[in-house]
Amino acid sequence: MSKPPAPPSLQELRKEIDAIDEQVHRLLMARGDIIDRLIQVKQTQEVGSAFRPAREASMMRELVRRHRGILPLDTIESIWRVIISTFTYVQAPFSVHADVSVSEPAMRDSARFHFGFVVPYVAHFSAQAAVEAVAKLKEQPGKDFGVLGSGQLVRSLMQRGLVDDFVLMIHPLVLGTGRRLFADGGAFAELELTDTTTTTTGVVIATYRAAPHSEG
């Protein structure tokens, strides 16, 4: 009766890990090469920011679908968010501005979880300060930029006429309660649908262009 094969040694297992790490690194460099080519294509075929919420949402959902093993899912999500945001930053540099009036550590941790440490982080100690920063940025030449914020921040920006496009993710779920993005007494906005995408999980990502802002 033959003996079962001996388990691999620690040295052999570490060599396998080193080989996998090298493959991951080489694949990331290959991804960078493709992004470099993508930048050249976008310079001639597209304008605006490099943010693509629909594509990013689809990528993250596919990541969740295929994930298995002992590595926690939130760790994988964090790694991929850093990869996505860093390559987005490489395509079109941007910074993250945050209203930290409620909790600076929590907001900073959230920004770093979503955008990593390469993307510049700028803290504002009131919502009004964040709004003023957006107003100043809009006066400068350059490409589009995105605002990812709370409903209060969005409403404050709307009152100043600082929102050009709304990217809304509509989930196939009715909660029956919760916070409203557009509250009573807010600024009036006339919107035009410019793009819509439906993900494989039924989430509708709709982009609306706001009509020119007018007082009264």
pLDDT in tens, the chain (216 residues): 677 778 889 999 999 999 999 999 999 999 999 988 988 887 765 555 667 776 787 788 888 889 999 999 989 988 998 898 888 888 888 888 888 887 888 888 888 888 888 888 888 888 888 888 888 888 887 666 666 656 777 788 888 888 888 888 888 888 888 777 777 777 777 889 998 888 777 888 888 998 765 544
Residue 47 lies in a domain: no
Torsion angle of C-alpha atoms 185, 186, 191, 196, degrees rounded to 10: -110
Q: Is 5 helix (H, G, I), strand (E, B) or coil?
A: coil
Q: Is residue 133 part of a domain?
A: yes
Residue 38 lies in a domain: no
Q: Name every residue whose Cβ is closer than 8 Å to that of residue 119 and which is 6 or more positions away in sequence.
A: 85, 86, 89, 94, 95, 96
Provide the 10 A C-beta neighbour count for residue 114.
16
Host domain of residue 123: 52-210
87: amino acid identity, one letter: F
Chain centre distance of CA 68: 23
Residue 177: CB atoms within 10 A of its CB come to: 5
The domain that holds 93 is classified in CATH as 3.40.430
Is 14 within a domain? Answer: no
Gap between the Cα atoms of 30 and 163, Å rounded: 36
Nearest to 167 by CA among 87, 45, 80, 57: 57
Nearest to 185, CA basis, from 151, 213, 135, 136: 151
Please indicate, yes or no, if residue 77 is contained in any of the structural domains: yes
- Is position 95 within any domain? yes
In a domain, 56, yes or no: yes
What pLDDT was estimated at residue 216?
45
Report the alpha-carbon distance of residue 140 to residue 125 in Å, rounded. Answer: 22
Question: Cβ contacts of residue 171 below 8 Å, gap of 6+?
Answer: 202, 203
What are the tokens at 214? 């007018």
The answer to whether residue 39 is domain-embedded is no
pLDDT value at position 142?
Answer: 66
- Across the beta sheet with 204-210, the strand order is 165-170, 204-210, 191-198
Name the token pair of 66.
């295929």
Residue 10 confidence (pLDDT): 92
Query: What total number of domains does the chain contain?
Result: 1
Residues 124 and 74: their CA atoms lie apart, in Å, by: 28
pLDDT recorded at residue 26: 97
